[in-house]
Structure 1
Amino acid sequence: MRDERERIGAALLELEAHQGYQLLEGAALTGETRRVQADVQSRAASLWTLFDLYGRAVGAAEDLRARHGRPGQAQLAELTRLLTGPSVELPVREVPLERRTLLAVPSGERLTLRAAVDRMTALYEEIARSVAALDAVWSTLLSRLAEVEAERRGAAELLESLGGTDPEFDRLRAELESAAAVVRGDPLALARDGRADTARLDAIRTGLAGVRRGLAEAERLRDGFADRIRGIAAALERLRAAEAEARAVRAEVLVKIASPALPDLPEAAAVLADRLAAVGAPPRGGWHRLAERVADLERAAAAALERARETTGVVRGLLDRREELRGRLEAYRVKAARLGHAEDAELARIYEQARELLWTSPCDLRKATVSLSGYQQAIMSRAKGAQR
């Protein structure tokens, strides 16, 4: 019996040392978590009370056995009562007034040692389940909360370094304080199907990460402001050159190609140059807002340069198409000669017609393409006739 009592005592101490149990101890809780806390505390109090009474009964049996090396009939009867009879008397429960009588004497429930162990086991398992379930939710939430608070501290340090305020950071900080109060005061309010629901904390962390990236960009801008501005200026020079090239190619196409369908020419360099001229080092506290403007300007310059180059490529494509048709015409002429049709008057006429279309400005690409196709078909027709 002593070994059993010691094992039970060790299990109870281990339960109290559990992280989930420790979180409940002394915590100011609300809502569903407060209900669980009260239930666990009530069951734990009952468990310890029952264990104490159980221990007293076992101790009484041990003491009786120790005092009587050769117990008599009376001692054996008492030992039997202590070990197998209802020797564990529970505290008297309060009887409601409406159930009392004038002469009634309240009495507590009596249990055998085995029944006491069974009841302690049930109480222990109920407490352990509640504590484990709460710990699974609470530990996850506290861990995620620590990550979000680390993100907040990082953003706060950057903001302090840059000076000024950030409305989005202030909003997220207030939201984090509200969520943290729930995590610490009623974590079960953030549980879904027995699992921690971290969606609210995750959304705050994502927002803070975005703010932190923006502030880090502002810090980089502050530390390399002159280089960034020079970089944008250089990009605008490349843009001016690309737009000038697009205009030159367009002018050439208008001369050399008949009725071309041309895209609008990009004219972004002047507007972006005005935006760059308006950018200056801000007063204290304005770097994180200026960073967005500078980043937007960099993206706009890069996009405008890409559009200008694409436009040039599209416009130049008409000239490239003419050169392609010219090359194919000469290749077909060589093929006709190789097939023995160099003196074919009809082929020569079709060739000259296509050549005139391709070497005359402005060139009608549609007609030239049709004429070239006719020349190709005429050559193929003669080649098939020679094979018969």
Structure 2
Amino acid sequence: MSRDEVDRTLARLRDEKERISTALLELEVHQGYQLLEGAALDGETLRVQSEVRAGMASLWGLFDLYGRALGAAEDLRARHPKPGQAQLTELTRLLAGPSVELPVTEVPLERRTLLSVPSGEKLTLRAAVERMTPLYEEVAQAVAALDTVWSALLSRLAEVEAERRAAEDLLHSLGGAEPELDRLRAELDAVAALVRGDPMALARGDRADTGRLDVIRTGLAEVRRGLEEAERVRDGFADRLRGVAAVLDLLRGTEAEARRLRDEVLAKIASPVLPDLPDMSASLADRLAAVGRPGQGAAAARGGGWTDLAARVADLEKAANGALERARETAGVIRGLLDRREELRGRLEAYRVKAARLGHAEDAELARIYDRARGMLWTSPCDLRKATVTLSEYQQAINARAKGTNR
């Protein structure tokens, strides 16, 4: 090389060295690399850690040897502002020749002789960079893959642990025990140990498998909702019981109304098809008495039974509201038979007025049908089916006469 070529090459290699150094330092401060450092790992993640450490050691080792060779060239050039042929030859060897000597490695047994001396491999600066490049890519890819998986798992783990703490705080406030929370806590501890000790065991390709954490989180959320309901029961226990009692009062009134309507229907309607009478108020009142007996709230507080009590109150509220709805439906069905009679009465009178308006007030046949229908509808018990048929006959007769009048 000429002096200018040496100087241009030195400038290029200094820039190259700076860029390599920056890349290696950035890799070491990468979050995935930092996660590996100092972590007590096992399984697949331990293997990744070992490979990354070995790869980084090789990279820094090669880079150090690369820097030494480049440094030797820089020192030689600095000592000789006007290098002669000997110095240029040496600079050429350092910058373009095999100036990077790798550590001596043990010669394989099959290549040894009795007097053989192990010797190290020598590389050019360019060959050293070419050897560092795939090493760097392998380490960077391993670190990036680990970071993707581990970060996702740690993020989801933090969410699940927050859900667990929320449930634990509620349980502490309520007192007592929650077996399902204990089971989920043990399951979470096992998965958390795996996340922190061998996250790659939970990798599916280049993505994290958060399935187990998701199942635990769903279970914890369900437990938390149950505990929140228990807390609401505890805080509004008396009001909840008064609410159920009010619904039962309405239920008793509706059941009594259904019985009264049934008796009236049996007296006024012939052969009615009636639904079974609602009769739930007594049994629900017994359940309310059991839940609301004196000292029940205090016993729940002492024994940690607010969760169970919450479930019982919620079931009782649901049962009471459902019974009231069904009782109202039954009363409506029974009342419908009486309403049907009143509807038929109204229609009969409307048809009579229509007949008179058409000039058939003295029509003997119409009067005979009318009297027969009226006798059915105003006689107890009333045969609704026959009354409906007779009313239809009366309507048809009036319509026939109306058509005749129109013609």
* 2:333 aligned residue: 314
* 1:91 aligned residue: 103
Q: Tell me, what secondary structure is at the counterpart of 1:278? A: helix
Alignment CA distance shift 1:259-1:90 (3 Å): farther
* 1:295 aligned residue: 314
Which structure 2 segments of 5+ residues have no match?
1-12
Q: Paired residue for 1:47, among 59, 78, 98?
A: 59
Shift in Å at residue 121 of structure 1? 2.2
Identity of aligned residues (%): 78
- Asked if 1:336 corresponds to 2:355, the answer is yes
- Asked if 1:256 corresponds to 2:275, the answer is no
Shift in Å at residue 123 of structure 1? 1.8
* 1:144 aligned residue: 156
Q: Tell me, what secondary structure is at the counterpart of 2:365? A: helix
Deviations 1:325-351 (A, max 9, x none): 222222333333333333332223222
- Quick one: distance in 2 between partners of 1:140 and 1:97? 47
Aligned amino acid, residue 151 of structure 1:
E
Shift in Å at residue 256 of structure 1? 1.8
Alignment CA distance shift 1:60-1:347 (3 Å): farther
- Quick one: distance in 1 between partners of 2:14 and 2:398? 113
Deviations 1:273-296 (A, max 9, x none): 111211222251222221111111
Shift in Å at residue 98 of structure 1? 4.8
Q: Paired residue for 1:163, among 157, 175, 194?
A: 175
- Quick one: distance in 1 between partners of 2:121 and 2:359? 124
* 1:349 aligned residue: 368
Shift in Å at residue 212 of structure 1? 1.2
Tell me the TM-score normalized by structure 2.
0.90
- Quick one: distance in 2 between partners of 1:294 and 1:278? 11
- Quick one: distance in 2 between partners of 1:385 and 1:264? 49
Alignment CA distance shift 1:387-1:4 (3 Å): same
Aligned amino acid, residue 373 of structure 1:
S
Alignment CA distance shift 1:7-1:379 (3 Å): same
Tell me the TM-score normalized by structure 1.
0.94
- Quick one: distance in 1 between partners of 2:124 and 2:181? 64
- Quick one: distance in 1 between partners of 2:204 and 2:371? 83
* 1:106 aligned residue: 118
- Asked if 1:191 corresponds to 2:203, the answer is yes
Count, aligned residues: 388
Aligned amino acid, residue 136 of structure 2:
Y
Alignment CA distance shift 1:10-1:300 (3 Å): same
Which structure 1 segments of 5+ residues have no match?
none
Q: Paired residue for 1:182, among 194, 197, 219?
A: 194
Shift in Å at residue 99 of structure 1? 4.6
Spell out the pairing of 1:1-388 with structure 2 (5 A cutoff).
1-279=13-291, 280-281=296-297, 282-283=299-300, 284=302, 285-388=304-407
- Quick one: distance in 2 between partners of 1:374 and 1:167? 72
- Quick one: distance in 2 between partners of 1:196 and 1:313? 59
